[in-house]
């Protein structure tokens, strides 16, 4: 495995520590501004819980990324792939800048939803604007169809789908963050083994930041991701599924096109089945209920903690084949 393991480990560790330490500060801010999730009929917590996770995770990703980029440019950090990473940053500066702004924008959209409970249409329009920006500046999904219109449409649809899949999946302590961390790790590993270091760095940063948040959220929650966090997780994973070259002439992997679907199988299946169930019952698919995969598992007698752990395990088992080099 020919990639700078120590650098990636440092990125993940830096994101972990930053997110872990930033959470108490964001938690106090949320309590002071009344950005909390109040108890309700579909909720098990009896006291308001701060919606601080999204801001802590974003801090855990962006702060180490900015510091690392500065140290690389100053020549403080040096390793075998330094020149490749700095060249990639220079070459794709505009794209990286827009994608970073997209992460901030989608987090702010989620924050507005957390604070003001946005209606479905303005929330969707905000997601759509971010998805269009991603399609405009980054690599796009083609599915081997030689049509620019198709590539724009399928890329926008993909970003919207993954964002909402993780928004839907944020229904039990640790579930969204854990599945997000697993997905980020797999995408980082795939990118790293193919020499796509910038994508790998983003994945390891995201994985570290989400793992740093988990002690505050699982098994007992002292903070939630909120829509700000679930939107951020979905956005970043959607982007990381687009950027790597899963299929190349040098590495023609038969399951290459399916790799993102395997990595994100749990949230995508959950989104599909719950949307179908609501549609068949003539209910708006964006209105929450207790028919997610996690809720159905709990109704069989499994505890909530065991349900989350089982879904994490399923995400790992299904995602492993996406990393196979054949």
pLDDT, tens digit, 9 for 90 and up, residues 248-302: 555 556 557 788 999 999 999 999 999 999 988 888 888 888 899 999 999 999 9
C-alpha distances in angstroms, 222 versus 52, 174, 219? Answer: 9, 11, 10
pLDDT (average), residues 21-33? 97
Bigger pLDDT: 5 vs 191: 191
Strand partners, 7: none
Instruction: Give the percent of the chain with pLDDT over 90.
Output: 65
pLDDT (average), residues 71-92? 68
pLDDT band at 196, cuts 50/70/90? confident
Q: What's the pLDDT score for residue 143?
A: 80
Least confident of 84-98, 108-122, 277-291: 84-98
Residues in Cβ contact with 80 at an 8 Å cutoff, skipping those fewer than 6 apart: 4
pLDDT band at 1, cuts 50/70/90? very low
Residue 309 CB burial class (10 angstroms; 0-12, 13-18, ≥19): middle
Q: What's the pLDDT score for residue 43?
A: 61
Q: What's the pLDDT score for residue 72?
A: 75
Residue 215 CB burial class (10 angstroms; 0-12, 13-18, ≥19): middle
Whether residue 103 contacts residue 61, with contact meaning beta carbons closer than 8 Å, is answered with: yes
Q: What's the pLDDT score for residue 245?
A: 59
Asked whether the predicted pLDDT for residue 75 surpasses 90, the reply is no
Bigger pLDDT: 145 vs 151: 151
What value does the mean pLDDT of the chain take?
A: 89
């Amino acid at each position: 495995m020919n990639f700078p393991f120590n650098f990636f480990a440092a990125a993940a560790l830096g994101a972990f520590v930053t997110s872990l330490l930033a959470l108490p500060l964001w938690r106090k801010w949320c309590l002071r501004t009344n950005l909390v999730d109040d108890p309700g009929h579909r909720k098990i917590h009896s006291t308001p819980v701060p919606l601080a996770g999204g801001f802590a995770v974003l801090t855990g990703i962006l702060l180490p990324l900015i510091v690392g980029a500065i140290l690389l440019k100053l020549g403080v950090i040096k390793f075998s792939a330094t020149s490749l990473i700095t060249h990639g940053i220079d070459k794709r500066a505009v794209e990286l800048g827009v994608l970073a702004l997209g992460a901030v924008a989608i987090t702010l959209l989620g924050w507005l939803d957390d604070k003001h409970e946005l209606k479905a249409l303005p929330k969707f329009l905000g997601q759509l604007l971010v998805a269009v920006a991603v399609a405009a500046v980054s690599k796009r999904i083609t599915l081997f169809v030689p049509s620019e219109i198709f590539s724009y449409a399928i890329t926008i649809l993909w970003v919207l789908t993954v964002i909402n899949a993780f928004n839907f999946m944020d229904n039990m302590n640790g579930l969204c963050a854990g599945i997000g961390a697993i997905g980020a790790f797999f995408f980082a590993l795939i990118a790293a083994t193919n020499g796509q270091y910038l994508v790998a760095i983003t994945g390891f940063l995201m994985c570290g930041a989400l793992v740093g948040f988990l002690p505050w959220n699982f098994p007992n929650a002292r903070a939630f991701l909120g829509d700000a966090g679930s939107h951020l997780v979905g956005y970043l994973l959607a982007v990381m599924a687009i950027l790597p070259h899963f299929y190349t002439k040098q590495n023609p992997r038969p399951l290459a096109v399916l790799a993102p679907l395997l990595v994100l199988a749990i949230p995508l299946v959950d989104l599909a089945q719950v949307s179908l169930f609501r549609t068949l019952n003539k209910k708006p698919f964006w209105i929450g209920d207790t028919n997610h995969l996690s809720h159905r598992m709990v109704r069989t007698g499994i505890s909530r903690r065991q349900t989350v752990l089982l879904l994490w395990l399923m995400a790992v088992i299904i995602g492993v084949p996406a990393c196979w080099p054949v």
